[in-house]
Amino acid sequence: MYGWENAQSGFGIVFVIAVCWALSEDKRRFPWRLTIGAVLVQAGLVWLLFGFPASQSVLDAINAGVDGLSSATHKGAQFVFGYLAGGPQPYALQDQGALFVFAFEVLPLILVISALSALLWHWKILKWITQAFGFVFEKTMGLGGASALSVAANIFLGMIESQIVIRAYLDRLTRSELFLQMVVGLATVAGSTMVAYAAILKDTLTNAAGHVLVASIISAPAGVMLARIMVPERAGAGKAFDEGEVDLRYDSSIDAIVKGTADGLSVVLNISAVLIVFVALVALANVMMGGLWWEGPITVERILGYVFTPVAWLIGVPWSEAQTAGHLLGVKLVLTEFVAFIELGKVPAAELSERSRMLLTYALCGFANIASVGITVTGFSVLMPSRRAEVIGMVWKSLVAGFLATCLTASIVGLMPPALFGQ
């Protein structure tokens, strides 16, 4: 049944679109048809993926699959790390929760899923799924073939891996298409990290894996819409696509597994390094502000909580929970979504309702954080060195659009009837 919280989410949709229009390079060329169509596509996908018994069975199967992958990964991690990864303990446990070590419980999942994704791509299963989504985006959102395929790949691959798929086209993309690739890459997440997020949230959110998967799928059209608002495309632009020019290939199944594992290791090392550095920098900032006091010590986390409280309210979180939710949005932007998801999993049930946890799952599920700015610049510069200056000139704007895209996704989910999600 609809209520005031649904109306809040409606305000959030208007707010996000208005901010992106205010930052547009050409405010007179507002893509009305694309905007209306993208919102309807997102709402339709949510209804399709949650509104039918058959769809719910698929989501239940996804949750079961994530549990199976987590269990299998734990076996491998325990073989290498022993009791540190949850294996038989050599001592009596006083705190069962202390066994959760991010490096041993979550990061190994990324290795396994990265290798599995590469194998499924080599077997053409993931490739066919990606091309099907690409066809839908090309026909419903007016994207060029190369851009449509890359947007679809972003749902399952990382922001840089998805560009490798269309590497032969990168130097021929228009400015608007290039910006779109950056925004969608920041608005979505890779399949390897999807499973990791679901594993973190499975004990605190019903159907966590289903929500995380749906979040990445429907944030893609949100990213396309906001990118087109901020950097409009001229009529008739967009490159055709020739399947023969797909650059992401493997020589054999074993080659796919080995290269996929190597790619996953690179992601794991990057995530580990970024988390260490950014958590340390925030801790250092808190130390420097140690003498400041206002109803308690002033910290980066408290400041972010206050700044993003209105944004949390606009996506549909009740005001009584908005500061907690705003804090998590700020943590996602500064400390990455991994830290935000871990903190979301630790928030007591009394502080956040089931609905608020669900909306935050959608709002946090994207790579739009400050660390990803560096990853975007580095990755795109390697793939298209001649356009490095252009990438640098748009990267901060793409961060804003990518962050707002996940907030838009959360707002659209919040606008839907609660009964759709069993609430």
In this predicted structure, what is the pLDDT of residue 273?
Answer: 79
Q: Assess contact for 268 and 113: CB atoms under 8 A.
A: no
Q: Assess contact for 405 and 183: CB atoms under 8 A.
A: yes
**Which class for 286: exposed (0-12), middle (13-18), buried (19 or more C-beta within 10 A)?**
middle
Residue 196: pLDDT above 90? no
Residue 308: pLDDT above 60? yes
Q: What is the mean pLDDT of the chain?
A: 80
Q: Which of 61, 399, 39 is nearest to 207 (CA)?
A: 61
In this predicted structure, what is the pLDDT of residue 204?
Answer: 80
In this predicted structure, what is the pLDDT of residue 311?
Answer: 93
**Which class for 22: exposed (0-12), middle (13-18), buried (19 or more C-beta within 10 A)?**
exposed
Question: Per residue in 42-53, pLDDT tens?
Answer: 888 888 878 777
In this predicted structure, what is the pLDDT of residue 94?
Answer: 61
Distance CA 63, CA 70 (A): 11
In this predicted structure, what is the pLDDT of residue 106?
Answer: 66
**Number of neighbours of residue 277 by Cβ within 10 angstroms:** 11
CA angle 53, 352, 304 (to 5 degrees): 120
Residue 259: pLDDT above 50? yes
Residue 270: pLDDT above 60? yes
In this predicted structure, what is the pLDDT of residue 220?
Answer: 87
**Mean pLDDT of the region 71-82:** 78
In this predicted structure, what is the pLDDT of residue 261?
Answer: 85
Distance CA 74, CA 89 (A): 14
- Which structure tokens are listed for 234? 């001229």
Letter for the amino acid at 174? Answer: T
Distance CA 198, CA 192 (A): 10
In this predicted structure, what is the pLDDT of residue 145?
Answer: 67
Residue 95: pLDDT above 80? no
Residue 407: pLDDT above 90? yes
The H-or-E segment that residue 343 falls in is helix 319-346
Q: Which of 342, 401, 412 is nearest to 372 (CA)?
A: 401
In this predicted structure, what is the pLDDT of residue 240?
Answer: 46
In this predicted structure, what is the pLDDT of residue 16?
Answer: 94
Higher pLDDT, 289 or 105: 289
Letter for the amino acid at 202? Answer: K
Q: Assess contact for 206 and 422: CB atoms under 8 A.
A: yes
What's the length of the chain? 423
Distance CA 406, CA 400 (A): 10
Distance CA 375, CA 394 (A): 14
Higher pLDDT, 306 or 162: 306
Its pTM stands at 0.80
Highest mean pLDDT among 112-116, 269-273, 281-285, 316-320: 316-320
In this predicted structure, what is the pLDDT of residue 284?
Answer: 86
Specify which residues 171 forms β-bridges with.
Answer: none
Residue 17: pLDDT above 90? yes
Question: Per residue in 121-180, pLDDT tens?
Answer: 788 887 777 777 777 777 777 776 677 777 777 777 777 767 766 766 777 788 888 899
Q: Assess contact for 228 and 183: CB atoms under 8 A.
A: no
Residue 417: pLDDT above 60? yes
Residue 313: pLDDT above 90? yes
Q: How confident is the model at residue 203 (pLDDT cuts 50, 70, 90)?
A: confident
**Mean pLDDT of the region 206-223:** 84
The H-or-E segment that residue 225 falls in is helix 208-230
- Which structure tokens are listed for 51? 């509104």
Question: Per residue in 346-399, pLDDT tens?
Answer: 888 888 888 899 999 999 988 888 888 877 887 787 778 888 888 889 989 999
Q: What is the CA radius of gyration of the chain?
A: 21
